[in-house]
Structures are given as structure tokens and as C-alpha cells.
Structure 1
């Protein structure tokens, strides 16, 4: 895989480019973006070696698609149209069902590998790209059986080579589970930020009182709305289900407060402390 084309050179695409280049110095990474300014920045940061367009994809060995998921759904069939029969296309979207469905009947479906690297920060754009973002992180691969073995083998070797762990899952299960562990976290962070901002309008010094707990909890509210709105739209049903359960727990907590039942509140928090053991077990 000497000629790699990165469609989208932001946090994920740029960080993948850095790590792939570090472990495979002979590859040439070509960048594709709607904005020439993005490509210029990527060049200046040495994230890519050359600029490219969609029409250049005929020369690709590997195409990495790291753009908003709604754009991926629209563009993916065209990408598969343009590649050679020996090329592989992977995407890094946070939803998988709609993306897989968009190409389920494409003649080159065997040239596509659906994946979701579980890594990131709250920052976006080429300047957010960092080395080592994926080391020790899980990469969810969906419908691997639909990708020709020769190509999936090359891809998995490439991604494990930069330190990723591979896990296999079907797209429906992926979208359901990711709604709980990722999408709900972002909504909670956005809404906490909204709540505090609205309060801050009347109490100007509220942020002077904000400590590290607030900063870490609201960190994800700095994430890109351009990326996250399409994710919520594509995973609407699962996100609504998680929100309903979350709201029930918040309402229950509020009722315990009203009842002065702090013994029950203590027990709930104590039981939830077990999450540290779960997280330590998968880190």
C-alpha cells in the first residue's frame, strides 16, 4: 500500500497519516479536501506529501475516508467507482449502519472495509492531528466478511502496526453500543455547557469557580457540531433510547434529593463507583 489517499485531513485523518507514515516511511500520502486551505495547512504540517482530487483515486492502493458521516454516505459510492479493482477503501465514521447500507449493493463492495477507530480529542482540523493517537486504542471493524480477504489482511496489518486493537462487530450492534459510550457522553457535555453558559449570563463570575471536574466533564462540548450533528441524525433511534434512560436516572436522582433520601444517593454513587473497575479492566 504505497499510495495512500486521505479524504479528510482533520484530527482522525491527519493523525492516521502521521502514524502510518512513521511506521511506513516509503508510503506517499495524498490529501483530498473540499478546502484548498486545509490541504495547504496539511502540507505545511507534513501530514500529507501531495495534494490530490477524487479523479486521482485510480492510482490509490488505500483510501482513508475521515469526513462527517453524512458526507461519507453520499461520497462513498463515488469513491468506489473511481478506484482500481485492487484498491481498498476504509472509513473512520462513528456510525456504521447507514454507511454500510450505502454501498451494500455496490459492485466493489468487496473493496470496502467499514471501521471505527475509538480515539479522538475535542479538537478538529489539521492542527489537531497528533502522533500516537491510536496506540492501544480499539478499532471496530464491521462486516469484515464482505471485504476480500487479501485487502482486509493488508489493512489489519497496517492498523495493528500503528498500535490498534481490532474488534469485530456488526453495524447495528456497533451503533447501539456506541450511542451509550460515546454519543451520550457528547450530548451530556454539550448540555452541561449550555446550562452553565445560560447561568453565566446572570452570574458573570461562575467560571472563576469552575475546577478540573467541570473542565473534564464539559471538555467534549468543544467538539465540532459539523461532525456531531450528522452522527446524531444517523443514529437517531439509538441516541433517543439512551437519552430516555439517562433522563430517567437524572429524574430519579432529583426525586431522591427532594425526598432527602441521601442514604439512597450514597448507595447509588457507591454502586456506580464500580465503573472504575470496568474501565481499568479494558484500558
Structure 2
């Protein structure tokens, strides 16, 4: 592999570029982004080697599509039209069903691999890119059997080089699970932030009284609405199901409080404490 083209040089695309350059300095990394400031910043920070246009991807060994998911769905068919028979396109979005369906009948479906690295922060843009973001993080791969074996190997070897763990999953199963494990937590953070902003009119009070618990819980509310709105749109049905379950649990907690059932509250929290065992026990 000699050339990697990254479309969208923000947090995920930029962090992948940093790790690829570190492990494979022989690879030339090209950046493509419709935001000229982002491309120039990525060049200045040494995240990419050169800037390029979409028309040039026919020369690519690997194309990493790291745009918001609505843009990725729009771009992918056209990118597959341009990719060479020996090139591979991977997308790194957090919804997989829509993008897999859009190219299901494409003549170059074998040149596409749908992945989702389970890594990130609440920040965006090239300045958010950091080294080792993906080290020992799980990457979900969907429909690998539809990707050419030689091209699979190209991607899997690169993922292993930068320290990723790999798990395989059906697109619909991925989207259902990720709605609970990621999408719901972002909604919770945004709505917690909204509630506080609406009720605490004095910004100084928020700043002075926000402890580490509040800060860690609301952290994801700093995330980009431009990225997350399309995710909620593409995974709407699963997100609605998760909200139904979440609201049900909130309502139950409220009812326990209203009825002075503090034994019930203790029991709810004590049982939920088991989450720390799950999260600490999985290697």
C-alpha cells in the first residue's frame, strides 16, 4: 500500500492519518475536505502530506470516508464509480445499514468495506485529531463477505498495525446495539445540558457549581450537531426504541421518589452498579 486518501480530515479521519503515518511512514496520505480551512490546517499540522480532489481517488490504494453519515451515503456510490479495481473504500460512520444498502447492487461493491471504529471524543476538526485514538479500541466490520478477500486483507493488516481490535457484525445488529451504547448517551448529554441551561439562567452559577460529575455526564453535549443530526435521522427507529426504554426507567425513578420509596431507589442503583463489573471485566 502506497497511497491513502482521507475524505474528511476531522477527528476520526485526522486521527487515522496520524496513526497510519506513525506506523507506515512510507505511505503518502492525501486529504480531501470541502472546508478549505480544515485542509490547510491538516497540512500545517502534518496530519496529511498533500491535498487532493475526489477526481484523484482512482489512484488510491485506500480511501477512508470520514464525513458525516448523510454525506457518506451520498458520496459512496460516486466514489465506487471512480475507484480502481485494486482500490478499497472504507467508511467510518456510526450507522451502517443505510450505507450498506445504498451500494448493495453496485458493480464495485467488492471494493467497499463498512467499518465503525468505536473511538472518539466530543471535539471536531483537524485540531481534534490525536495519536493512538484507536489503540486497543474495537472496530466493528459489517458485511465483510461482500468485500474482495485481497482488499479485506489490505484493510485488516492496516487496522492491526495501528492497534485496532476487530469484531464482525450485521449492519442492522450494529445499528440496534450502537443506538443503546452511543446514540442514547449523546441524546442524554444534550438534553441534560438543555435542562440546565433552561433552568439555571445565571451562567456563572453553572460554571461555579458544575462539578466533575456534571462535567463528565454532559461532556458529549459539546459534540457537533452537524455530525449527530444525520446519525439520529439514519438510525431513527432504533433511537426511538432506546428512548422509550430510557424514558420508562426515568419515569420509574421519578415515581419511586414521589412515593418516598428510597429502598426501591437504593435497589435500582445497587443493581445498576453491576455495569462497573461489565466494563472493567471485558478485555
> TM-score, length-normalised on structure 1?
0.99
Partner of 2:237: 237
The correspondence of residues 47-62 of structure 1 with structure 2, limited to 5 A, is 47-62=47-62
Partner of 2:73: 73
Partner of 1:253: 253
Q: Distance in 2 between matches of 1:182 and 1:97?
A: 16
Q: Could you say what secondary structure the match of 2:176 adopts?
A: helix
The correspondence of residues 175-190 of structure 1 with structure 2, limited to 5 A, is 175-190=175-190
Contact 1:19 1:162 in 2 (8 A): yes
Residue 24 (structure 1) aligned with residue 24 (structure 2):
yes
The C-alpha deviation readout for 1:213-271, integer Å capped at 9, x for no partner, is 00000000000000000000000000000000000000000000000000010011000
Q: Could you say what secondary structure the match of 2:9 adopts?
A: coil
Partner of 1:198: 198
Q: Could you list the runs of 5+ residues in structure 1 that have no partner in the other structure?
A: none
Residue 104 (structure 1) aligned with residue 104 (structure 2):
yes
The C-alpha deviation readout for 1:89-144, integer Å capped at 9, x for no partner, is 00000000000001101110000000000000000000000000000100000000
214-223 or 192-201, larger mean C-alpha shift: 192-201
Partner of 1:10: 10
Q: Distance in 1 between matches of 2:62 and 2:122?
A: 27
The correspondence of residues 220-235 of structure 1 with structure 2, limited to 5 A, is 220-235=220-235
Partner of 1:161: 161
Q: Distance in 2 between matches of 1:136 and 1:206?
A: 36
The C-alpha deviation readout for 1:34-75, integer Å capped at 9, x for no partner, is 122111000000010001001101110000000000000000
Partner of 1:130: 130
Partner of 1:271: 271
Q: Could you say what secondary structure the match of 2:135 adopts?
A: coil
C-alpha change, 1:40 and 1:104, in structure 2 (3 Å) is same
Q: Distance in 2 between matches of 1:210 and 1:9?
A: 33
The C-alpha deviation readout for 1:155-210, integer Å capped at 9, x for no partner, is 00100110100000000000000000000000000000000011121685243111
> TM-score, length-normalised on structure 2?
0.99
The C-alpha deviation readout for 1:10-50, integer Å capped at 9, x for no partner, is 00000000001100010000000112211100000001000
Contact 1:200 1:207 in 2 (8 A): no
Contact 1:8 1:67 in 2 (8 A): yes
Q: Distance in 1 between matches of 2:202 and 2:9?
A: 40
Q: Could you say what secondary structure the match of 2:16 adopts?
A: helix
Task: Give the aligned CA root-mean-square deviation in angstroms.
Answer: 0.9
Partner of 1:150: 150
Q: Distance in 2 between matches of 1:249 and 1:136?
A: 33
